[in-house]
Amino acid sequence: MGTASARPVANKYPSAHVLKIHGRLFLIDCGEGVQLQLSRYGFSHVKIDRVFISHLHGDHLFGCFGLLSTMALMGRTAPLYIYAPGRFSEILAFFMKHFGEGVVFDIIHVPLTSTAPEIVFEGRSVEVSAFSLNHRIETFGFLFKEKEPARNIRKWKIESDNLTLSEIGTLKRGEDVVRADGEVLKVEDFTYIPYKGRSMAFCSDTAPFPELASYIRGVDLLYHEATFAEDLVDMARKTFHSTGAQAATVALEAGVGRMVIGHFSSRYRDPDVILKEAQAIFPATELAREGMKFDIPLVRYPAEAK
């Protein structure tokens, strides 16, 4: 919902992104105007139950005040979890003191602390890890992993092997069955995993650093900041940001499926130059623009697959 960096320009919004997974909405970063962008793109505030804030620079944060106020105004009662650096607790306390009058729902701040990836949220179908990035202030990246789904039984085996309901349950839980006569029904022969768990990583803002590729290895979709093109690589170093080419090098090294770049400096009227430099290194790079949607298609395994 926002592809600008610190200085927004007309029609470009600061950092804000929605990740939709199994009907659940995760909000990643909270740039100014995020509540307007949510309305514009038809996302209901009500469906957001977790917010992930990478760091406490204004362009990733200033939209949270309006968002929380509007949630209150609309009568929200469901708790809201906000994963953000420790100092966010002071910002939340300030908000509650001055603007919290109508807030009747719980706002739970989960402080981020880990360097290497560490799980910060585990739900039924997804787990989220946070890890440190390399920016001017404490900053975190996020790794969203769809959990491996429950095993399916190979239907034709039910009849051929006269499986009982109890045996089916055991196999689906991933345990082998040992029958009274000593026969062993092996999980891999009788069940399969219906689809591959998908994954997405979010890395903004950051300068490149050696460990990053290992943190996000093999994700299906990587969002990585690409504030500058190579002409301003010195500026990128100085401000702890990445160029498109640097982001592409990370994507290549991490062996990700695709990469989306964003967080463009207002110096680039057209960020196509950043895209081209990235694609020269990692061709499966796409440019984020406000309102764009990137799907991660479900890869179904055939029943014959292990």
Q: How many CB atoms lie within 10 A of CB 6?
A: 18
Q: Which of 26, 30, 32, 243 binds a copy of itself (CB under 8 A)?
A: 32
Phi, psi of 123 (to 5 degrees): -110, -170
Instruction: Judge whether 181 counts as a catalytic residue.
Output: no
Which secondary structure element, helix H or strand E, spans residue 259, and what is its range?
strand 258-262
Q: How far is the CB of 90 from a copy of itself (least distance, A)?
A: 7
Q: Which of 18, 24, 62, 257 binds a copy of itself (CB under 8 A)?
A: 62
- How many residues belong to the site for a copy of itself (CB under 8 A)? 32
Using the rule CB under 8 A, is 46 a contact of a copy of itself? Answer: no
Q: Which of 59, 106, 176, 189 is catalytic?
A: 59
Using the rule CB under 8 A, is 94 a contact of a copy of itself? Answer: yes
**Three-state DSSP state, 164:** coil
Q: Compare residues 32 and 220 and give the one whose CB is closer to a copy of itself.
A: 32
How many angstroms separate the CA atoms of 252 and 272, rounded?
Answer: 20
Q: Which of 1, 3, 8, 19 binds a copy of itself (CB under 8 A)?
A: 8
Using the rule CB under 8 A, is 59 a contact of a copy of itself? Answer: yes
Using the rule CB under 8 A, is 166 a contact of a copy of itself? Answer: no
The Cβ-side half-sphere exposure at 107, using a 13 Å CA radius, reads: 23
Contact 204, 15 (CB under 8 A): yes
Contact 205, 140 (CB under 8 A): no
Binding mask 96-125 for a copy of itself (x = CB under 8 A): --xx--------------------------
Q: Compare residues 70 and 152 and give the one whose CB is closer to a copy of itself.
A: 70
Q: Compare residues 51 and 256 and give the one whose CB is closer to a copy of itself.
A: 51
How many angstroms separate the CA atoms of 7 and 85, rounded?
Answer: 22
DSSP string spanning 99-159?
H-TT--S-EEEEEE--SS-EEEEE-SSEEEEEEE--SSS--EEEEEEEPPPPPEE-HHHHH
Q: Which of 73, 108, 292, 305 binds a copy of itself (CB under 8 A)?
A: 73
How many angstroms separate the CA atoms of 91 and 95, rounded?
Answer: 6
Using the rule CB under 8 A, is 22 a contact of a copy of itself? Answer: no
- Token output for 79: 């708790």
Q: Which of 18, 21, 24, 36 binds a copy of itself (CB under 8 A)?
A: 36
Give the active site residues: 59
User: Which residues would be at the binding site for a copy of itself (CB under 8 A)?
Assistant: 6-11, 13-14, 32-33, 35-36, 39-40, 56-59, 62-63, 65-66, 69-70, 73-74, 87, 90-91, 94, 98-99
